[in-house]
Amino acid sequence: MKFLSLEPFIPSGSNFDGSKQLFQELGFDINWDQGDYVGFQKDECRFILQRYDVVEFAQNFMLSVKVTDVKAFRDSVVDKQLVEKFGIRIGNITQQPYGKEFNIIDIAGVCWHFVEQ
C-alpha cells in the first residue's frame, strides 16, 4: 500500500470568493467546485479551499510548498500587485536550514512557506 497525496483543507476566511481569486492569481487551477469546497492544483501540488472562517485556526495554520525558483515566484506576486489587490502580506526571501524561503500570509491568515531547496 502506497500513500499517493496529501491534500489539506485550507480555510478561506471571511472572503471566500476573494480567496478563490487569490489562489488562481498565484497560479493554481480549479479542478472542481462544489460551492463551499473548491479543489485547486498547480503541477503536483493540490489543496481544497473550504468556506471556513475561524481566525484563530487560520492564524495557526501553516503549509510548506516546494518550488523550483522562489525568487521568480516572489517576483510574480509583486508584479501582479497581489498585496494591494488582496491585502495579503508577503515576506522577503530568507535562507533557512531547509532552503530559501518566502512567506505569504493569505486572506484568512494562513502562512504559506514557499521553499526552494
pTM across the whole model: 0.94
- Determine the pLDDT at residue 112: 98
Quote the CATH superfamily of domain 9-116.
Answer: 2,3-Dihydroxybiphenyl 1,2-Dioxygenase, domain 1 (3.10.180.10)
pLDDT band, very low/low/confident/very high, at 117 (cuts 50, 70, 90): confident
In 24-110, DSSP assigns E strands to 29-33, 37-42, 45-50, 62-66, 89-90, 94-96, 99-105
- Determine the pLDDT at residue 37: 98
- Determine the pLDDT at residue 89: 98
- Determine the pLDDT at residue 59: 97
- 74-105: per-residue pLDDT in tens? 999 999 999 999 999 999 999 999 999 999 99
Residue type, 42: K
- Among left, alpha and beta (phi > 0; psi -120 to 50; other), residue 13 is left
Asked if residue 9 lies in contact with residue 50, where contact means CB atoms within 8 angstroms, the answer is yes
- 5-64: per-residue pLDDT in tens? 899 999 999 999 999 999 999 999 999 999 999 999 999 999 999 999 999 999 999 999
